[in-house]
Chains A and B, each alone.
Chain A
Amino acid sequence: MTLSSEDIRKLEKSILNWLQNRPAEWRWAYGGRFFTKAQSIESFKKDKEFHRLILEAALLKSINDFKV
């Protein structure tokens, strides 16, 4: 089984949904800057590089979860 673009879309949707359910004051830092909830959602939707970074980090975390 390979990961289809449909599966990727489901992952994107889950991440976006999760971000949208954060409290308004939610923030996190990446490199030199903080991202608010709103900035994270906007960047995830519009910034290709950021979008890829998050998807990659989510996939690598999933792979890590199944490591024995």
Chain B
Amino acid sequence: MDNALVLRPVLDGDEVSQYSYCWAQDAIDHAHNAGFHVEDMGGRELSKAEVIQAIETVNPALLVHYDHGQEDGWLGNRTELIISLPDAWRLSGRLVYTMNCLSAKQLGVEAWRHNAKVYLGYDQEFAFTLTDELLFREAVAYGLYLYASGLRNWAEIKTRMYQKFNELIAAATDPWTAMWLRHDRDALKVYNGESPQTTCTFRKLALKLLGERWGWKIPAPRLRRPQLRRVFKSP
């Protein structure tokens, strides 16, 4: 039986991560239904050291993160990123399923370049309304639900998730809910179900000359030292 590792930290005094903690229960349930043995870490702040140790011990085929994120990493506490760009190789060969802000923008691409089987995440800030919280919760877990139902083609999963978002947008009676469901839908990225887009001229040239896979193998020149850029204030 393959292992799944679900990271669902709760930052001290942070209300948003209390919601993401609850939402991650759906990911746990779907992972169980998909036949994974699930290791659940969270409900508190997680340190990078314990996350790395858990990845090495559990060796998860499915790695899930529900919490705050930034372009180059995942948060688990207020002082360091628990997974950042230099850790992208640790995602190699794994299914990575995230519900966090922005991480598909850089970390997702980097994981994809390091042969992660899939990296599902969002390349914009994630937004939701409390009046229709369940619609957002349903949409973000839908990919794992499809996987648990036997679907293995991640391009198809992306298409079906997009359709699910559309169904929920149509069902939403609150314009604010529909507005942010549309926003989250367009922020959803599923690498390998699709290839990352680039605005870099050199990358575009490399992709043209070498093709998708090898064109992305050339390292990005600006790998900064990872640092926590987001500040979370208690409400």
Q: Which residues of A contact B (CB under 8 A)?
A: 18, 26-34, 57-58, 60-61, 64
Contact = CB atoms under 8 A, between A and B. Distances in A.
Interface string B63-84: 0000010000000000000000
20 contacts: A18-B175, A18-B176, A26-B131, A27-B130, A28-B127, A28-B129, A29-B127, A29-B130, A30-B125, A31-B101, A32-B68, A32-B232, A34-B235, A57-B180, A57-B182, A60-B179, A60-B183, A61-B178, A64-B169, A64-B182
A18 B176 CA distance: 10
Contacts of A58: 179
A61 B127 contact: no
B127 A30 contact: yes
Interface residues of B, number: 26
B126 A31 contact: yes
Contacts, number: 54
A27 B176 CA distance: 11
A57 B183 contact: yes
A29 B175 contact: no
Given A31-B126, A57-B180, 13 more contacts: A26-B131, A27-B130, A28-B127, A28-B129, A29-B19, A29-B127, A29-B128, A32-B230, A33-B233, A57-B183, A60-B182, A61-B178, A64-B182
A34 B130 CA distance: 10
B179 A31 contact: no
Contacts of B131: 26
Contacts of B176: 18, 28
B156 interface: no
A17 B68 CA distance: 31
Interface of B: 14-16, 19, 68, 101, 125-131, 169, 175-176, 178-180, 182-183, 186, 230, 232-233, 235
A34 B16 contact: yes
B230 to A, nearest CB: 6
Contacts of B68: 31-32
Nearest to B231: A32
Given A34-B235, A61-B175, A64-B169, A29 B16 contact: yes
Nearest to B124: A31
B35 to A, nearest CB: 33
A23 to B, nearest CB: 9
Contacts of B14: 32
A8 to B, nearest CB: 16
Contacts of B128: 28-29
